[in-house]
Structure 1
Amino acid sequence: MPLNIGGTGLLIIILIAILFFGPSKLPQLGKAIGSTLREFKAGTRELIQSEEHAPKVTKESNE
């Protein structure tokens, strides 16, 4: 289910964030979100690579 957020929706979200957190906290919040996403992507990439290199378990080899 993709999120279809247009320019207006993004602007509204930014305005709400400014009102809620204040303009001085937004750079810190953006940095924290960016580092969290970076770590999540790296973890996902590692998981995919480990799955590709793991030995395949078939029904026949289990018995």
Structure 2
Amino acid sequence: MPNIGPLEIAIVLVIALIVFGPKRLPELGRSLGKGINEFREGVSKIGEATDVDADDDDHDPVELTGPAGPDAAEPEVTEIVSDQRSGTESAPEPVDGEVVPERHD
């Protein structure tokens, strides 16, 4: 992150004074301060919410995700495979002899 010295701050303030004028500068400062304050409050609320969620150890991970391992998925896999097999047709019988490609003139 770049270091901002007093000279850079003075340059930014002079440019802001030229662009916005002396009448609107205090109003812009107030609205900027309110925006920064709201942002900080939002960040702190998010931090508090994640702290509460991290401390929530009431649930067993297996209860939330269900059983794991190959035996847990076997009924679903068997059902999917049987559905796939019933929906496919058998391959046609192979053709004896030479296959001649069609010519398009």
1:38 matched to which residue of 2?
37
> In structure 2, the residue corresponding to 1:33 is in which secondary structure?
helix
Whole-Å separation in 2 of the counterparts to 1:28 and 1:3: 28
Whole-Å separation in 1 of the counterparts to 2:42 and 2:2: 23
2:79 matched to which residue of 1?
none
Gaps of 5+ in 1: none
Tell me the TM-score normalized by structure 1. 0.84
User: Is 1:27 equivalent to 2:30 in the alignment?
Assistant: no
User: Is 1:12 equivalent to 2:11 in the alignment?
Assistant: yes
- Offset at residue 28 of structure 1 (A): 0.3
Instruction: Determine what percentage of the aligned residue pairs are the same residue.
Output: 29
Residues 4-47 of structure 1, C-alpha deviation per residue, up to 9 Å, x if partnerless?
A: 11111110000000000001101000000000000000000000
Tell me the TM-score normalized by structure 2. 0.52
Aligned residues: 59
